[in-house]
Amino acid sequence: MESNPERFVRPGVRQLIPYETKHMPECIKLDANENPFPWPVGMQETLFKGKPAFNRYPDGMGQELRTRIAKYTKTSPEGILIGNGSDELIQLILLTFGGLGKSLIIHPPTFGMYQIYARLTETTVVEVPLLNGLDLDTEQMLKAAQAPEAHVVVICNPNNPTGSQFPRDEILRLVRESGKIVVVDEAYAEFSEETLIPESGNYPNLVIMRTFSKAFGMAGLRLGYLIGQPETISLINRVRPPFNVNSFSQKAGILALDYLEEYQNQIDQIKVETQKLQYALKLLPKVTVYPTRANFILFKPEDPDLWASELLKRGFLVRNMGELPILGKCLRISSGMPQENEEFIRAVKEISTRQS
């Protein structure tokens, strides 16, 4: 008897468009908002010397890592939950507070995984587009949050893909007046140097999401964490798999926090390089460049599809964002190494000259 597996797929999954990433190691990668610099000198060697017992399960609660994160963020270990990258943390939040008959409020354009995990947890997505494609529409978000089925609001700050930094007062107003779970995704906070972590002790409905993937250069190890009041974190902990973060990633996270000065130097260099890229793009005719507080830049050439294709021919992988609400078709790049950025600037000048 023939069987078609598609018949058994849940309706929400059947309609799902997967989040696609490109693996092109031969290219200069400017498409994923990563830290392009290698780890600080000595860190990798120290990590490998440690010889973790890979034949044993990791510490399921991640106690040492949580203690170190607590010191870094000036919070308590009880208010921290570690995850297999931010992606898993989004899923855990929606498994806890979302589900059938509940809704998640997002502000497109924003990070695509919020919507994907909403679908997978059968949580309805309510979209409140950014004003002018860049600014938080606080009034409309508050209005949407009044619905009884609205359980979670996600604010990405700085926002991916726009680079916008939303005012802390507006976010705190949402926390206070909505009464719903407000998740602030601060994946790029080390670059903006603004955070709501000090406010987490004041609001039981405020949850901050952070990652080691960006500033700490650990995108390949998948390590993130949540910060909130201990009672709120313990609710999310109920749905966390018992050994969700592997031993190696935990050790790397602990070690990274010993190299804060070295990482700060990298962050400062990335900010300088991002400004250089932004300035170079602004000088080109018929290119709109949006302000950023992160390690990436959203920009809009006259023909973004052609630019993406021409850059790829020259060995540069950039993120073609497609059609964004209000802003239209845009490209996004993150800073590479200084030499790579120089080469990128030469390439876009050449493409721009050929177009005009």
pLDDT higher than threshold 80 for residue 331? yes
Work out the pLDDT band at 356, boundaries 50, 70, 90.
low
**pLDDT per residue as tens digits for the range 150-169:** 999 999 999 999 999 999 99
Q: How confident is the model at residue 52 (pLDDT cuts 50, 70, 90)?
A: confident
Rounded Cα distance, 212 and 214, in Å: 6
At 7, the pLDDT band (50, 70, 90 cuts) reads confident
Q: What integer is the mean pLDDT of 169-180?
A: 98
In this structure, the dihedral spanned by the alpha carbons of residues 117, 23, 294 and 41, taken in order and rounded to 10 degrees, is 120
pLDDT in tens, 65-96: 999 999 999 999 999 999 999 999 999 999 99
Give residue 211's pLDDT: 98
Of the pLDDT bands very low, low, confident and very high (cuts 50, 70, 90), residue 185 is very high
Residue 238 confidence (pLDDT): 98
Q: Give CA–CA dist 202/197, Å, rounded.
A: 10
- With bands split at pLDDT 50, 70 and 90, how would you rate the model's confidence at 26? confident
Residue that wins the pLDDT comparison between 73 and 50? 73
CA neighbor of 52 nearest in space, from 211, 319, 254: 254
Whole-angstrom distance, CA of residue 55 vs CA of residue 62: 17
Q: Quote the pTM value.
A: 0.95
pLDDT of residue 18: 73
- Give the span between the Cα atoms of 62 and 245, in whole angstroms: 8
Mapping DSSP onto H, E and C, the string for the chain reads: CCCCHHHHCCHHHHCCCCCCCCCCCCCEECCCCCCCCCCCCCHHHHHHHCCCCCCCCCCCCCHHHHHHHHHHHCCCHHHEEEECHHHHHHHHHHHHHCCCCCEEEECCCCCCHHHHHHHHCCCEEEECCCECCCECCHHHHHHHHCCCCEEEEEEECCCCCCCCCCCHHHHHHHHHHHCCEEEEECCCHHHHCCCCHHHHHHCCCEEEEEECCCCCCCHHHCCEEEECCHHHHHHHHCCCCCCCCCHHHHHHHHHHCCCHHHHHHHHHHHHHHHHHHHHHHHCCCCCEECCCCCCEEEEECCCHHHHHHHHHHCCEECEEEEEECCCEEEEEEECCCHHHHHHHHHHHHHHHHHHC
pLDDT tens profile 28-38? 999 999 999 99
For the residues 144-152, what does the mean pLDDT come to? Answer: 98
Distance CA 135, CA 36 (A): 28
